[in-house]
Amino acid sequence: MMCMAAGYDIVLIFIGLELMAISTYVLVGFLRRDKRSNEAALKYMLLGAFSSGIFAYGLSLFYGLTGTTNLQLIEDRLGQRMAQSGGHADPILVIAMLTTATGLLFKVAAVPFHQWAPDAYEGAPTSITGFMSVSVKAAGWAMLIRLFKMMFPLRPIYVPFLVFVAIATMTGANFAALTQSNLKRLLAYSSIAHVGYMLLGLIAGTGDSFNPDGLKGILIYLLVYTFMNLGAFAVITSLRHRNVIGDEIDDIAGLYSRAPIEAVLMLVFLLSLAGIPPLAGFWGKYFIFLSLVETGHFTLAALAVLYSVFGLYYYLRIANAMFMREPLEKERLPLSPAMGVALAVTAFVTLAVGLFPNSMIQAVNWVWGLSETSPLAHLIR
């Protein structure tokens, strides 16, 4: 994953991607005697291998067109090629862009390349599901931003494509999540919906004019999403460890009367995922929506706000089950010290970033070169 995020050569990035993917296939199928785990790993491996082949084909076309594997040189030579053709891309460039984008969008589970995510999330061990939903997705986004920056001269082609994928992702994922009764599948579709919001930030940030707020929104989103989504899966993991199945929404009925700390923290994580201030998730959506308005994408901004309301509905379905329904059993559930620490860390970051976002915003500005100093810069130096 570090190779995917830090690599500046398409060969190194692809090697990092495949090493991560093969390791993840093994982790998804870790429960060898569980049929759901086996099925999920097999589906994930087959679809992943297919998408990797398409992705490698696209990268090979870029290498053939530019004669280099260095991202910066590819970007420069693509710009020269577009300038010579008067801003029109030839068919080979279009195919290279579409195949590369298909491989990238599969890795972040954007519609219609998302088929693996719900099955993999449901079949994998819950702790692995939480790891996949944040770390694998963050690495995929780091790679996606880096490669779309490489394709920046092709933005007249890929921006309409991204608009279609973002709308399809928000629509498909939110409507699918409304009908889910399985908790892990619901959070899987929720994760896919968040990809749609982040794609809007990419559209605003790499359109005709550079808009830093869209790209800032993506990085902030990835940071806060890591902690709030990991916290939600930590609650589910803790319930499974104490013989509360936790896979179905009905299983957490009346959780507040049995485990009040976990129920309250789960509510915090869910409200943050919905983007309710003053929690951390609000700031990711704020910068993305702001960038859409600043770049004149008013229809996309309105759609994103509408689908955020859909998200709030299915998150509150979980909250309703925890707080308003009668518990299936009356026995109190003790919280282990290790799980308590994990939940405390994720909850602290979710609340602290939401209440005091300035340090995080300064760090993101420094990452994008919009600021010369930040607490993160001093720490690294």
Same domain, 217 and 246: yes
Boundary residue ending a domain (114, 129, 150): 150
Domains of the chain: total = 2
Residues 209 and 299 in one domain: yes
Q: Could you report the average pLDDT of every consecutive run of 10 residues in the chain (381 residues)?
A: 90 94 92 87 91 94 93 91 81 92 90 86 87 90 90 87 93 91 88 92 74 82 89 85 70 85 92 90 89 89 92 91 84 82 92 88 79 62 61
The partner residues of 41 in beta bridges, in order of sequence, read none
Judge whether 381 lies within some domain.
Answer: no
Looking at the structure, do residues 250 and 285 belong to the same domain, yes or no? Answer: yes
Domain that holds residue 44: 1-150
**Residue 65 has which token pair?**
């067109």
Same domain, 199 and 344: yes
Separation in Å, CA 163 to CA 57, 208, 217, 300: 23, 14, 17, 8
Six-digit token pair at 344?
Answer: 């405390």
d(CA 120, CA 132): 9
Indicate whether 20 and 131 sit together in one domain. yes
Quick one: 168 and 237 in the same domain?
yes
Are 47 and 178 in a shared domain? no
In a domain, 253, yes or no: yes
* Calpha distance 380→232 (Å, rounded): 30
Is 379 contained in some domain? no
Judgement on whether residues 64 and 138 belong to the same structural domain of the protein: yes
User: 380 lies in a domain?
Assistant: no
- Specify if 92 maps to a domain: yes
Residues 93, 39: Cα–Cα separation, whole Å: 37
If asked whether residues 165 and 90 sit together in one domain, one would say no
Cα Rg of the chain (Å, integer): 21
Looking at 130, 150, 170, which one is the last position of a domain? 150
Sign of torsion over alpha carbons 288, 294, 300, 303: positive
Do 114 and 213 sit in the same domain of this protein? Answer: no
Helix (H, G, I), strand (E, B) or coil at 182: strand
User: Same structural domain for residues 107 and 20?
Assistant: yes
In angstroms, rounded to a whole number, what is the distance separating the alpha carbons of residues 224 and 173?
20
In a domain, 314, yes or no: yes
What is the C-alpha to C-alpha distance for residues 46 and 39, in angstroms, rounded to an integer? Answer: 11
> Which residues are CB-contacts of 82 (< 8 A; sequence separation ≥ 6)?
88, 89, 153, 154
In-domain check, residue 197: yes
Please check whether residue 318 lies inside any domain of the structure.
yes
Q: Where does a domain end: 150, 185, 209?
A: 150
Strand, coil or helix: what is 209? Answer: coil
User: What pLDDT does residue 381 have?
Assistant: 61
Task: For residues 165 and 92, state if they share a domain.
Answer: no
